Structure formats: structure tokens, C-alpha cells
Amino acid sequence: MIRKKSQYQYGSRRSRKVSTPHSGNTLLAQVIVPLIIGFIGVFGTIAGVYTTYTLTSQESKKARAIEYEMTIVNQRIEIINQAARIYGKEPGISDLWLIYLQETSDNIANGNIATQHSTELSEKLADYNSEYESVVWMAALYFGPKTREALAELGKETGPWWTKNPDTVDEFMVAMVEEINLGIEFLPDILQPEK
């Protein structure tokens, strides 16, 4: 009788199975497990790259949004500064206006054409008016409904802007300050409204 080679090795107290080249464990250990580990590694790498890309992309978008919003806030601050400067000149402009009206009235009464001085006053008043109009247009563009409402109230009053009711002017300035952060999502702590 021919004995088959046993798949169990004798000689120790316990029998243990010896791997043969054709056993299932070898295929599993030498091919399938490394493939699974390789796939896990590739998947982990792809997932890591995707996660990093997504986070970097989101941070980049947030940084651009913050930069854009800070540009808006800075522009609003500049408009408020321009408005404060032009309204600060109001007493002097009112004086120029009265002098201009007096000279114009005298010239008309005497049948004269405008003098050099009255022409210069007219040009200065036109410059101040264009500076004011710039503030009005920029405020209407950069600020919200409270500012536009205050501008509408200013527009209801007749006469040059430097003759407007100071309370209405104050309402306009306050509206701009209150709306400095309107629509701004990523405000620095210093610009956050107090709660």
C-alpha cells in the first residue's frame, strides 16, 4: 500500500497543518491580502488628497470673501469720512453762498455781468456741490435702505445741500454708520455690533 503524504506533520505533541503550494491560505496570504491592502492604501491616499483639496478650496473661498467684504467695509468708511469732511465745510460754504448771492444780486441791480470774484465763488460752490453729489451717489450705492431713506428725506428739502436741516443731515450720517456692516458675513470682532 502506498501511503499518501499526510498534510499533518508529526513529531510534536500537536499536529499542525503544513502549507502546500496548492493550499488556499497561500493564495489568500500572498495575493488577496496584499491587493486589499493596496486598494485600502490607494483609497486612503485619494480620500486624503480630496479632503485636503476640499478644505483648501473652502478656505481659499472664505479668504476671498473676507478680502472682498473688507474692501466693501473700507469703501463705506471712506464714504463716511468724505461725508463728514464735506459737512464739516458747511459753515464756510454757507458763508461763500451768502457772499455769492449778495454779489450776484448787486451785479444784477447794477446791470453788470458777473465779476471775476463772483465767477470764482461760483466755481468753488460747484466743486463743493460735486463733492457732495459724489458722496450721495456712493452712499446710495454702498449702503442699504436706511441710508437711502435718509437721502430721500434730504432730497425733499429745497435749496442747496448746505442749507439742509442739520437733523436730517445727522439722520443720514447715523444711517451710514449703522449700515457699515450691512451684508458683511465675515466681520472682524472690532466691527461686530454690540449685543
The pLDDT tens digits of the residues spanning 83-128 come to 999 999 999 999 999 998 888 888 777 877 777 888 898 899 999 9
Does residue 109 belong to any structural domain of this protein? yes
Residue 85 structural domain:
72-191
The better pLDDT of the pair 126, 14 is held by: 126
Whole-number Cα distances in Å, 99 to 115, 121, 132: 13, 8, 20
Does residue 33 belong to any structural domain of this protein? no
- Reported as a pLDDT band with limits 50, 70 and 90, residue 154 is very high
* pLDDT over threshold 90, residue 172: yes
Task: Please provide the average confidence, as pLDDT, over all residues in the chain.
Answer: 81
Rounded Cα–Cα distance for residues 84 and 147 (Å): 15
Q: Domain count for the chain, please give it.
A: 1
* pLDDT over threshold 70, residue 3: no
What's the pLDDT score for residue 88? 92
Does residue 147 belong to any structural domain of this protein? yes
Rounded Cα–Cα distance for residues 94 and 88 (Å): 11
Does residue 15 belong to any structural domain of this protein? no
What's the pLDDT score for residue 5? 54
- Reported as a pLDDT band with limits 50, 70 and 90, residue 179 is very high
List the beta bridge partners of residue 8. 17
Does residue 63 belong to any structural domain of this protein? no
Q: Are 114 and 107 in contact (CB under 8 A)?
A: yes
Span 49-67, pLDDT tens digits: 778 777 777 777 777 888 8
Does residue 144 belong to any structural domain of this protein? yes
Does residue 22 belong to any structural domain of this protein? no
* pLDDT over threshold 90, residue 168: yes
Does residue 41 belong to any structural domain of this protein? no
